[in-house]
Structure 1
Amino acid sequence: MVTQAPETRIVDAYRVACDGGDGALGHPRVWLQISHEKGYVECPYCDAKLVHRDFEGKV
């Protein structure tokens, strides 16, 4: 069985919400803060990587 890689999403804000998508199959909505130094944050529920547009292609 092959494990899917976590999703990577490009976002425009440094404070973002993640609910896992897929309606009832998602997870509780959490608000995450993207570090201005790292440029991304990973969701603790679904491991999605949310990358700020300024850091696209750099992380």
Structure 2
Amino acid sequence: MVTKAPETRIVDSYRIACDGGEGALGHPRVWLSIPPATGFVECPYCDCKYIHHAFKDKLSAA
């Protein structure tokens, strides 16, 4: 069995909501704040990584 890698999304806002994106199979909606110093945040439920567009070239290869 192979585990899928967590998803990475580029966003325009420093405050975002994540609900797992799978309707009833997702998770409770949580609001996450991207720290301006790091440029990214990970969802504590689904491990999706949200990268602010200003940091995409710096972090997408990491």
TM-score relative to the length of structure 2: 0.91
TM-score (norm 1): 0.96
Ranges in structure 1 where 5+ consecutive residues have no aligned partner: none
Q: CA deviation at 1:2?
A: 1.4
Letter in 2 for 1:17: A
Q: What RMSD over aligned residues (CA atoms) do the two structures have, in Å?
A: 0.6
Letter in 1 for 2:32: L
Structure 1 residues 12-38: Cα deviation after superposition (integer angstroms, max 9, x where no partner): 000000000010010000000001011
The total of aligned residue pairs comes to 59
Higher-helix-fraction structure: 2
- Tell me the residue number matched to 2:57: 57
> For 1:16 and 1:48, how far apart are their aligned partners in 2?
12
Seq. identity, %: 69
**How far, CA to CA, are the matches of 2:2 and 2:49 in structure 1?**
19
2:9 matched to 1:34? no
